[in-house]
Chain A
Amino acid sequence: MKRAIYISTPGQLKREGNTLVFISQEAGKKVIPVETVDSIYVFAEITLNKKLLEFLSQKHIPLHFFNYFEYYVGSFYPREHMNSGLIILRQAEYYLNHEWRIGLARAFVYGSLSNMLLNLRTYASRGNDLSTQINAIEELFDELNQASSSAELMALEGHARMAYYEAFDIILANPDFSFEVRSRRPPANRLNALISFGNSLLYVTTLSEIYRTHLDPRIGYLHETNQRSFTLNLDISEVFKPLIVDRVIFSLINRNELKPGDFSEKLGGVYLKEKGARKFLEAYEKRLNETIMHKKLGRKVSYRRLLRLECYKLYRHFLGEEIYSPYVRTR
Chain B
Amino acid sequence: MFVILVYDAGEKRVQKFHKICKRFLHWFQLSVFEGELSKAQLERLKFELKQVMKPEEDSVIIYSFRTRHYFSREVMGLKKGDPDNIFI
The reply on A9 being an interface residue by CB < 8 A is yes
The reply on B86 being an interface residue by CB < 8 A is yes
Chain A 13-30 per-residue mask, 1 if CB under 8 angstroms from chain B, else 0? 000011100101001001
B19 touches A30 (CB 8 A): no
Q: Which residue of chain A lies nearest to B1 when distances are taken between CB atoms in the complex?
A: A1
What chain A residues lie within 8 Å of B27 (beta carbons)? 31
B23 touches A281 (CB 8 A): no
8 pairs across A/B with beta carbons < 8 Å?
A1-B36, A1-B38, A6-B88, A33-B23, A33-B25, A35-B24, A36-B35, A282-B87
What chain B residues lie within 8 Å of A5 (beta carbons)? 86, 88
The reply on A118 being an interface residue by CB < 8 A is no
Lowest 7 CB-CB distances: which A-B pairs, in order? Answer: A19-B23, A1-B36, A35-B24, A1-B38, A7-B88, A6-B87, A35-B23
Main secondary structure on B side of the interface with A? mixed
A33 CA / B41 CA spacing, docked (Å): 12
The reply on B22 being an interface residue by CB < 8 A is yes
Task: Tell me the minimal C-beta distance from A86 to chain B in angstroms.
Answer: 27
Interface centre among A33, A278, A285 (most CB of B within 10 A): A33
Q: A31-B22, A32-B88, A281-B87 are in contact. List 15 more A-B contacts (CB 8 A).
A: A1-B38, A6-B86, A6-B88, A8-B88, A9-B88, A11-B88, A19-B22, A27-B82, A27-B88, A31-B26, A33-B24, A33-B25, A35-B23, A35-B24, A278-B87
B residues neighboring A (CB under 8 Å): 19, 22-27, 35-38, 41, 44-45, 82, 86-88
What chain B residues lie within 8 Å of A24 (beta carbons)? 88
How many residues does chain A have at the interface if contact means C-beta atoms less than 8 Å apart? 27
What chain A residues lie within 8 Å of B45 (beta carbons)? 35
A2 CA / B44 CA spacing, docked (Å): 14
What chain B residues lie within 8 Å of A1 (beta carbons)? 36-38, 41
A residues neighboring B (CB under 8 Å): 1-9, 11, 17-19, 22, 24, 27, 30-36, 278, 281-282, 285
A4 touches B24 (CB 8 A): no
What chain A residues lie within 8 Å of B24 (beta carbons)? 33, 35-36
Main secondary structure on A side of the interface with B? mixed
What chain A residues lie within 8 Å of B82 (beta carbons)? 27, 30
A22 CA / B87 CA spacing, docked (Å): 11
B87 touches A36 (CB 8 A): no
Q: Which residue of chain B lies nearest to A8 when distances are taken between CB atoms in the complex?
A: B87
What chain B residues lie within 8 Å of A3 (beta carbons)? 36, 86
A34 CA / B23 CA spacing, docked (Å): 5
What chain B residues lie within 8 Å of A27 (beta carbons)? 82, 88
What chain A residues lie within 8 Å of B86 (beta carbons)? 3-6, 285
A3 CA / B23 CA spacing, docked (Å): 14
B26 touches A33 (CB 8 A): yes
What chain B residues lie within 8 Å of A278 (beta carbons)? 87
Q: Which residue of chain B lies nearest to A9 when distances are taken between CB atoms in the complex?
A: B88
Task: Tell me the minimal C-beta distance from B71 to chain A in angstroms.
Answer: 16
A35 touches B44 (CB 8 A): yes
Task: Tell me the minimal C-beta distance from A326 to chain B in angstroms.
Answer: 28
What chain B residues lie within 8 Å of A2 (beta carbons)? 38
A8 CA / B37 CA spacing, docked (Å): 24
Given contacts A6-B86, A27-B88, A36-B24, contact A17 B41 (CB under 8 A): no
